Amino acid sequence: MLILGLISGAFAFLLPAISGLREAVHLTNHSRHVLTTANHLHRLVIDLETGQRGFVIAGDESFLQPWRQARASIPEQAATLERLASAQSAAQGDRARQIKQSVEAYIRDYSVPTVEAARRDPASARTVAVTEEGKRRVDAIRGQFERFVNFENQLLASRQERAADAAVRATAATSVGVAGSILLILLFDTYLIRSIVRPVRKAAAVASRLADGDLTARMPETGAGEIGKLEVAFNSMGRSLEESRELTEKAHRRLKLLYDASTAVGTTLDVRRTAEELVKVVVPEFADFVTVDLAVAVLRGDDHRPDEGEMLCRVAIGCIRNTGSFHPPGVLITWAPPTPQARSFDGGLALLEPDLRASTAWRSRDPEAAARILDHGIHSLITTPLRARGVRMGVVSFWRSRQPGRFDEEDLSYAVELTAKAGVVIDNARRYAHERNTALTLQRNLLPQRLPVQPAVEIAFRYQPAGAQTGVGGDWFDVIPLSGCRVALVVGDVVGHGIHAAATMGRLRTAVRTLADVDLPPDELLTHLDDLVIHLTSGEQPGMAEGDTAAFAELGATCLYAVYDPVSRRCTLATAGHPLPVLLTPDGTTELVRGPVGPPLGVGGLPFETTELRLTEGTVIALFTDGLVETRDRDIDQGLAELRRALALPTASLEDICDTVTGALLDGRAADDAALLLARTEALSPDQVAMWEVPADPALVARTRKLAIDQLLVWGLDEMEFVTGLVVSELVTNAMRHGTGPIQLRLIRDRTLICEVSDGSNTAPHLRRARVFDEGGRGLLLVAQLTQGWGTRQTTSGKTIWCEQALPPPVPSSDGAPGDEVSRAA
């Protein structure tokens, strides 16, 4: 009865404590359930974000599989989290509701629109703004999860403390009841303490440690019956939780590696740099050694598809220590067919060699090198092919030495995914290199390879294409010989980069040369060129009005056209939106040409005005494009000031001036295309030019012919008397018969003999075939047959008809000196 009384009293105290313990345990289990649901929802959000990003980067629909599964599971999981959280805490219910709303908003407002945008236009979904917006939203959701989990952990800790307190109270009640009993009760109490109370306390302590995150906590499995089962259950739960944490941490590390790879690999459009970035991401987190071997065609940017057994080039290598056992970058390698690298490259399959010492196939190419690799402790290998759009580009090898664990199937799938991401980026870099090489080749063929020899100016030039990141542009220049020893200097810039800009540049250069053959003044030439650009714009952009700025943005260009006459030393120029040139006088001072600047080509509606300069012999005209003087960190005024300082530096020749200017302003690099054209003016001496005013009297034609022949005798060109006399007679007679006064005859002796007849009529002559009994119509035909070339050009007061004759070869004199030089000296 005493025992029953003591037991009844003990139970009177123990039952409420057990009830409190059960309630505390129930609340603790509820908190664990809430945390499990929150972690599951968090993983679904990560799957959603990872799948969406992979699709945007790679454009592969397979990345959307986890994204769709996450979208399908998130609503139910979020509702469960909200229901569980609201059941015990209103505050947690509000937090869960906010998480649900944020996740739904992220899917509705960002994830789904981004995937749809990537399907429509991948380039628009890969912008920095889209990536930053997604990162900001995901970081905000992660912050909400962190606050929710922290608060729930606090609730869990407090409930565990209540459970421990309840257990302590139950134990105390039992101890008090037993302490007042007799020795039998003491012995029985001792039995109870040893058999029940102590294991329960240990179980509570272990449970508390497990709840606090110490997953290494274990109980000694010494009990019997239910206590023994409880100890086994606690230990099994601890091992399961520890394994789950290890798997979670491993998965987190892999996701972080994939995320780092997506952000760190592909920062440039350079194949070698991309391979090096891949190596840096993988070592040492995933592998201890990594080698990247690419086909030579990929490095060149060719479209050639590599053949089986083709030689590969070691592009990058990453390691945790000395790489003496591996081929260095730059070495050409041919993998033997039995090796994993050859099988991966030829077959397009990833291969796993978990134990290299047990495998013999990979040693077949070079047994000695394989032995050195094994001596370094390397024990496991994964080889994955680099492929994109069905094209084999190379192979990546992952090696482990320091990490004790071998590669497994899970590591193989991760390596395949990582290499697939890198393959897309490397293929983009290869395609960019191919396009750039094509554009450079087109541009080089369209730009002048050598400049013509002419008497008006001494020429030097430099052209530097833009850097690899920007692409080939449309800057161009030209030097065009004109009639009367004149020369046209042209420089221009086409908006944009790439093949389109280079092709447009070639069309404009051809158009300028064609218009220059007509010998138009600079302002008229630019007007015709402006009309051509407007027609090109309207033709390439259907539905747009001529001169529409939207169309012009696709085909905009600037151009400066200057004509220099060495006889009058006058330079006439006009510009369509292009910077005016800088002059370097013979005394070393520089001057920026001031004058009207017309609108860029393609705008239309506004006239072009000319600027006329009278230059001293030896003046250097510096024509350039904006890529030479303007950069992101230097405005055009600062660039012009630096250009003038560089031009003023003392140099020996025009070539040295070019090197000085480009070295000072470009420093070997160009963010945009840069062109520099230097022309040092020459002047014809007065004894090389003869000019007469001719009255409009047919009777004076013979006298005019006599004046021309006398001038030829002075120049020592008596062999040219007949042809020149005939040409002068025909041209002067035509001017008197078909033109108006005043009439002027001019002879210029330089590398050729130039004969020019000017009159006040704007009517241009043309060749025609005279019939047998026609009395006229043979004059210009004779001129064309007897001279090297002829033409007509419009002037402000009429027109000028000109023709050129090749000078006779110099005849050696009696003392051995060329006869031409003797006549010049005379």
How do residues 195-246 score in pLDDT, each as one tens digit?
677 777 777 777 777 667 666 666 666 666 676 777 677 677 777 777 777 6
Under the banding of pLDDT at 50, 70 and 90, the label for residue 774 is very low
DSSP string covering 93-155, please? HHHHHHHHHHHHHHIIIIIHHHHHHHHH-HHHHTSHHHHHHHHHHHHHHHHHHHHHHHHHHHH
> Does the pLDDT value for residue 119 go beyond 50?
yes
Residue 606: pLDDT band (50, 70, 90) is confident
Chain-centre distance for alpha carbon 651:
37
Inter-residue contact 471 to 439 (CB < 8 Å): yes
By CB atoms closer than 10 A (0-12, 13-18, 19+), residue 534 is: buried
Out of 4-8, 36-40, 256-260, 589-593, give the one with best mean pLDDT. 589-593
What percent of the chain lies above the pLDDT cut of 90? 12
3-state SS assignment for residue 2: helix
Mean pLDDT value across the chain: 78
Strand partners, 295: 312
User: Quick check: 770 pLDDT over 50?
Assistant: no
Eight-class DSSP state of 268: S
Number of Cβ atoms within 10 Å of the Cβ of 410: 12
Average pLDDT score over residue span 3-32: 72
Is 780's pLDDT higher than 90?
no
The more confidently predicted of residues 734 and 310 is 734
Which stretches of 618-700 are DSSP H helices? 626-629, 636-648, 654-665
Confidence of residue 443 (pLDDT cuts 50, 70, 90): low
Q: Give the bridge partners for 488, in sequence order.
A: 480, 563
Residue of 458 and 542 predicted with greater confidence: 458
Distance CA 761, CA 739 (A): 5
pLDDT confidence band for 142 (50 / 70 / 90): confident
More confident of the two residues 710 and 248: 710
Kind of pairing, strands 798-806 and 789-795?
A: antiparallel
Residue 99: which residues within 8 A CB-CB, separation 6 or more? 38, 41, 78, 81, 141, 144, 145, 148
- Confidence class of residue 180 from pLDDT cuts 50, 70 and 90? low
CA angle 649, 654, 656 (to 5 degrees): 60
Is residue 652 classed as helix, strand or coil in its secondary structure?
coil
For residue 104, pLDDT over 80 is answered with yes
**pLDDT of 773 over the 70 cut:** no
3-state secondary structure of 273: helix
Measured CA to CA in angstroms, residue 39 lies from 52, 242, 459 at distances of 20, 16, 74
Query: How many residues are there in the chain?
Result: 826
DSSP of 469-489: TT-----EEEEEE-GGG-EEE
The mean per-residue pLDDT over the stretch 761-781 comes to: 57
d(CA 682, CA 443): 30
For the ranges 40-44, 465-469, 588-592, 705-709, the lowest mean pLDDT is seen at 465-469
pLDDT at 597 over 50: yes
Calculate mean pLDDT across residues 704-717: 88
Range 504-528 average pLDDT: 88
The predicted pLDDT at position 763 comes to 74
Least confident of 6-10, 235-239, 314-318: 6-10
pLDDT band at 824 (very low <50, low <70, confident <90, very high): very low
Listed range (521-535, 545-559, 678-692) with the worst mean pLDDT: 545-559
* Close Cβ partners of 327 (under 8 Å, ≥ 6 residues apart): 291, 314, 317, 333
The model's pLDDT over 46-84, given as tens digits with 9 standing for 90+, comes to 888 888 888 888 777 787 888 888 888 888 888 888 888
Among the residue ranges 92-96, 149-153, 428-432, the one predicted with the least confidence is 428-432
């992660």: which residue's tokens? 142
DSSP 8-state code for residue 619: P
In whole angstroms, give the CA distance from residue 414 to residue 421.
Answer: 11
**CA distance to 313, 326, 363, per residue, from 343 (Å):** 17, 19, 14
Nearest to 733 by CA among 777, 795, 767: 777
Distance (Å, whole) CA 753 – CA 787: 10
Banded model confidence at residue 549, pLDDT cuts 50, 70, 90: very low
